[in-house]
Structure 1
Amino acid sequence: MADAAIPTVDLTPFFTDGDEDGKKKAKEVISQACSEYGFFQVVNHGVPLALMNQAMELSKTFFAYPDEEKLKCTRNSAGAPIPGGYNIQPGRSPDKNEYVVVFPAGSSFNVFPTNPPKFQEIFEEMFTYFTKVGQLMESIFSECLGLPPNFLKEYNEDRSWDLMVALHYFAATENENTGVSEHEDQNLITFVLQDEIGGLEVRKDGQWIPVIPTKGTFVVNVGDVIQVLSNNKFKSATHRVVRSKGKKRHSFAFFHNLQGDKWVEPLSQFTTDIGEPPRYRGFLYKDYQALRRKNKTHPPSRPEDAIRITHYAIST
C-alpha cells in the first residue's frame, strides 16, 4: 500500500550554518522520496509566505477578469518553449484551464498584463525566489546522488530557459474532471504551489496519492532529465491534476529547465563506474522538447501513445 501522504522536508538546516546533522537527515528523506517516486513537499524554503499569498491573490484577480481583458496580454513568443503571457491549454477545450507564462526578468518572451497593478513586480519577485530554491535543490540533489555539490549547477548553468506558470483550472463538470492527465515533467526539477483546493496527485505503487496543500509549503518533483542522468536512481514523478466539482483551482508551477542544446545521457557515475548498463540512449534536450510539444499540439488518439522518456529507453 502507498503511504497516505508524501513527505514534507524542512529546509531550515540549509539556511543555517553548522547544522550538519539537520542537513544529513533532510537529505536522507529527500533521497528516499526521489528514489521511490520523485515527489516531496518543502517548508522553510526561503520564499516568503506573504509573497506567495500576494502572488496567488493577484493570479485569482487576473483570471476573474473578462476574456477581452485577459487576451490583452497574449502574444505568440517565437522561439520560446511555450508562448509568454496569457494562454488557454492547447488541444483542449477552454473550460478546462488557462494560464499565464512568465520567463526571467528582461526576457523578450515576457508579456505581462497591466492589470491588476503590481502583477509584473510580484511575479518577477516570485520568479527570483524560485530560481534561488532551484539552485539550492540542484546542490542538494547532487549531494544526495553522491556527486560534487556544484555538479548539476555547472551542468545546467543557463537560467534563461526557466519559466513560471500561473494556472487556473475551472471546476469539474458532470462528465469530466481532468485538469491535467497523468504525465511526468520533462525538465530537471519542478516546484508547485497549490491553493487550498488542491487537486494534485502523485502515483506510487499503482495508487494515486493526493498532495494536500499546507500553508507555506510547495511541492518538489523530479523531472525526466534527473531520472536519465541518474540512470533511474531518482525517479521522475508520475502525477496528474484532478478538478473538483463546484471549485476553481489556482496554482503556480516553476520549471527549473535545461538549455535545448544540452546533451542528456546517463552519467558514468551510475553506469560504467559501477558496472551498470545505461538505461537510456543519449539525446539533445531540444529534440525531446519537440516530441513532448507534439503531444500537446497533436494529441495521439490513445493516451498510451504519447511520447515519454521511455522513448529513449534501452531494452534490457
Structure 2
Amino acid sequence: MSAKLPVFDIQTLRQNPGGSAARHAAETLRDICHHQGFCYLVGHGLDIAARRVFNVADQFFALPSPDRRSIDIANTPHFRGYTILGTERTKGAQDWRDQLDFADDQSAPTLGPNDPAWLNLRGPNQWPEALPAMKPVIDDWLLQMHEIGLMMIRALSRGLGLGASYFDPYFDPQGDARLKLIRYRVPEHGGTDQGVGWHHDTGFLTFIIQDEIGGLQVDIDGQIIDATPMKGAMIMNLGEMLQMATDGYLRATPHRVKSPPPGRERKSMAYFFNPRLECEFKPIDLPNELARDAPGGQNTDPNDPVFSVVGENILKTRLRAHPDVARRHYS
C-alpha cells in the first residue's frame, strides 16, 4: 500500500483550545510537523467560504485575456496581480500555471537608500475592474484564514513546549500573509507537466485547498507521496522560517505539482501564513527531548540557503520565480 499523508482534525482546537484534549492534539500536530511536515486538516468549517473563493476565481480565469492582463503582476514591485501562463519559473524551468496573487491591502512603501528591497513586498493589491465581486470575497477569505493560521501556530507552539502565545508577537499588529488562486494547465502544443517544480515554501505555514484533480506530490525522505484530493480537507505544510526557528525540528518539506494533461485544468488556492517581514528567527531553545532531534535549520541544498529575516527569505524566491518583476523593478 502506498504511503499517505496524515489527517489532523482541528475540531478540538476550535472548540476548546486550552483544554487537555487540545494539549494532546497539539503534541500530535507537533509530531506530524516533525516527521512529515505535511498533513490534511479536517474540521475547519470553511467549506462554504472556500466554494465562494473558487467561484470567483473561476469567474476571473474566464475573463478575456486583456482583462486578466490588465493586472499583470509585473505592473508593480509588490508581487500582486496576474501571472501569465508560462512566465513563472522554478529553478529556471517554466511552471505551467497562471495565477492571481493577493495579500492584505497596504500602502506602497517609500524606500530610502538604506532600506531593504523586501519592504516592497508590501503594497496595494491589483483588483480586476471587470470583476468587482472579487474583492469582498478575497478580503473575507484572508480574514478567515488568518484565524486558522493563528490557531494552528498556537497549537504548534504549545506542542513544542513554548506556550501557546510564543509566536504571537511576530504577527502583531499583523503578519505578511499572501494568497494565490492558481490554475494549472498545459497548452495544446508545447509545455511540460511541471505545474510548479520541486521547492520549499519560505514562510511559516501554508494552507492549500485543491479541486478534485490531483497532482500535488510531497517528497518525504526520498519517498514521493501523492497528496490526493480529500473532500472537505485542506492541506497544511510548513515553510522555511519555522524550520529555521526550530533548528530543523519542524521541517519544510519539498513538494511540487504536476499539471494535468492538455485539455484539462486543475484549480487550487494557497494561503501563506507568514510573520511580519521584519522578523528575524534564530534557533529557539527547545526542550532537550526535542532539541536532540533537530538537525539544523538550513536546507540540504547549499544553493538554496534559508535566510533568517522573513522578508529576505521570501523575496529570494519571488525574484527567482518572477524574472519579469525582477527585471522591471529590482535590477
**What's the counterpart of residue 54 of structure 1?**
52
**What's the counterpart of residue 295 of structure 1?**
320
- Aligned equivalents of 1:234, 1:208: Cα separation in 2: 19
- Aligned equivalents of 2:73, 2:297: Cα separation in 1: 37
1:96 and 2:96 matched: yes
Shift of 1:76: 4.5
SS of the equivalent of 1:293 reads helix
Shift of 1:169: 1.0
- Aligned equivalents of 1:216, 1:275: Cα separation in 2: 36
**What's the counterpart of residue 264 of structure 2?**
247
Q: What runs of 5+ residues in structure 1 fail to find an aligned partner?
A: 300-316
SS of the equivalent of 1:283 reads coil
- Aligned equivalents of 1:277, 1:222: Cα separation in 2: 15
Residue identity in the other structure for 1:205: D
Residue identity in the other structure for 2:229: P
- Aligned equivalents of 2:241, 2:167: Cα separation in 1: 11
Shift of 1:228: 1.0
**What's the counterpart of residue 82 of structure 2?**
86
**What's the counterpart of residue 286 of structure 1?**
311
Shift of 1:41: 1.2
**What's the counterpart of residue 302 of structure 1?**
none
**What's the counterpart of residue 314 of structure 1?**
none
Cα separation, partners in 2 of 1:21 and 1:168, compared to 1, 3 Å = same
**What's the counterpart of residue 260 of structure 1?**
277
| CA deviation profile, 1:257-314 (whole Å, cap 9, x unmatched) | 132322221113368x968998358733333334333432469xxxxxxxxxxxxxxx
- Aligned equivalents of 1:253, 1:277: Cα separation in 2: 28
Shift of 1:159: 2.5
- Aligned equivalents of 1:194, 1:182: Cα separation in 2: 18
**CA RMSD, Structure 1 to Structure 2 (Å):** 3.0
Cα separation, partners in 2 of 1:102 and 1:297, compared to 1, 3 Å = closer
| CA deviation profile, 1:114-141 (whole Å, cap 9, x unmatched) | 3345211111111111111111111011
Percent identity, aligned pairs only, is 23
Cα separation, partners in 2 of 1:278 and 1:53, compared to 1, 3 Å = closer
Contact 2:248 2:295 in 1 (8 A): no
Residue identity in the other structure for 1:98: D
- Aligned equivalents of 1:178, 1:277: Cα separation in 2: 32
Cα separation, partners in 2 of 1:194 and 1:18, compared to 1, 3 Å = closer
1:209 and 2:209 matched: no
Query: Whose relative contact order is higher, 1 or 2, with alpha carbons under 8 Å and at least 6 apart?
Result: 2
SS of the equivalent of 2:217 reads strand
Residue identity in the other structure for 1:71: R
Contact 1:103 1:161 in 2 (8 A): yes
- Aligned equivalents of 1:219, 1:260: Cα separation in 2: 24
**Residue of structure 2 aligned with 1:125, choices 140, 145, 156:** 140
Contact 1:182 1:240 in 2 (8 A): yes
SS of the equivalent of 2:179 reads strand
Cα separation, partners in 2 of 1:197 and 1:269, compared to 1, 3 Å = same
| CA deviation profile, 1:45-74 (whole Å, cap 9, x unmatched) | 242x11111211221221122211212233
Q: 1:45-194 to 2 correspondence within 5 Å? A: 45-47=44-46, 49-74=47-72, 76=74, 78=76, 80=78, 82=79, 84-88=80-84, 89-91=87-89, 96-105=96-105, 108-171=123-186, 176-194=192-210
Cα separation, partners in 2 of 1:175 and 1:261, compared to 1, 3 Å = closer
- Aligned equivalents of 1:199, 1:161: Cα separation in 2: 28
Contact 1:73 1:112 in 2 (8 A): yes
- Aligned equivalents of 2:200, 2:138: Cα separation in 1: 25
Contact 1:30 1:40 in 2 (8 A): no
SS of the equivalent of 2:67 reads helix
Cα separation, partners in 2 of 1:197 and 1:278, compared to 1, 3 Å = closer
Question: 172-181 vs 218-227, which deviates more?
Answer: 172-181
- Aligned equivalents of 2:59, 2:71: Cα separation in 1: 15
**What's the counterpart of residue 16 of structure 1?**
15
Cα separation, partners in 2 of 1:153 and 1:99, compared to 1, 3 Å = same
Tell me the TM-score normalised to structure 1 length: 0.82
- Aligned equivalents of 1:113, 1:160: Cα separation in 2: 25
**What's the counterpart of residue 242 of structure 2?**
226
- Aligned equivalents of 1:86, 1:64: Cα separation in 2: 13
Contact 1:270 1:276 in 2 (8 A): no
- Aligned equivalents of 1:139, 1:95: Cα separation in 2: 34
Cα separation, partners in 2 of 1:158 and 1:240, compared to 1, 3 Å = farther
- Aligned equivalents of 1:278, 1:209: Cα separation in 2: 23
Contact 1:71 1:86 in 2 (8 A): yes
SS of the equivalent of 1:86 reads strand
Cα separation, partners in 2 of 1:74 and 1:237, compared to 1, 3 Å = same
